[in-house]
Homo-oligomer: A and B are copies of this chain.
């Protein structure tokens, strides 16, 4: 279910803008990306069109231009990309992946505490499950 299309690296930039706020005109998308990426507006419009063709986004007419909005949720796409990455690089082993990230990344005290807490809770849940 929920078969998300393959979204390329550049297309992800477009999607992130549209997910963060929609609907948006092409003009607005170009604007939002203008300081982050060095893309001509035609390039951005090409990516928008490819995303339309892939059914990742839709549009409705509004006067002279279109208003674009997502057809696939960010959550779905993040899931798909994560699974793909996990499989390709870590043979699907999420535990190893997370371990690796924890060891390679310099997290802040806050983040460490937060993750620690999540795991503490998860541990308790798991325990309850076993108990029952």
Interface residues of A (CB under 8 A from B): 9, 12, 16, 77-79, 81-82, 84-85, 88-91, 94-95, 97-105, 107-109, 111-116, 118-120, 122-123, 126-127, 130
Provide the bound-state CA to CA distance between A113 and B116, in Å: 11
Provide the bound-state CA to CA distance between A113 and B120, in Å: 9
Check A112–B104 contact: CB distance below 8 A.
Answer: no
In the complex, how many angstroms separate the beta carbon of A49 from the nearest chain B beta carbon?
A: 20
In the complex, how many angstroms separate the beta carbon of A73 from the nearest chain B beta carbon?
A: 14
Q: A81-B85, A85-B85 are in contact. Are A107 and B123 (CB under 8 A)?
A: no
Partner of A99, one of B94, B99, B118, B123: B118
In the complex, how many angstroms separate the beta carbon of A113 from the nearest chain B beta carbon?
A: 7
For the complex with contacts A77-B89, A81-B85, A112-B122, 5 further pairs of A-B residues with Cβ separation under 8 Å are A9-B88, A94-B111, A95-B115, A116-B116, A116-B123
Provide the bound-state CA to CA distance between A130 and B111, in Å: 15
Check B104–A79 contact: CB distance below 8 A.
Answer: yes
Contacts of A9 in B (CB 8 A): 84, 88
Provide a sorted-by-A list of 20 A–B residue pairs whose CB atoms are within 8 angstroms. A9-B88, A78-B90, A78-B100, A81-B88, A81-B89, A94-B107, A94-B111, A95-B108, A95-B111, A98-B102, A99-B115, A102-B115, A102-B122, A103-B118, A109-B130, A112-B119, A112-B122, A112-B126, A116-B120, A119-B119
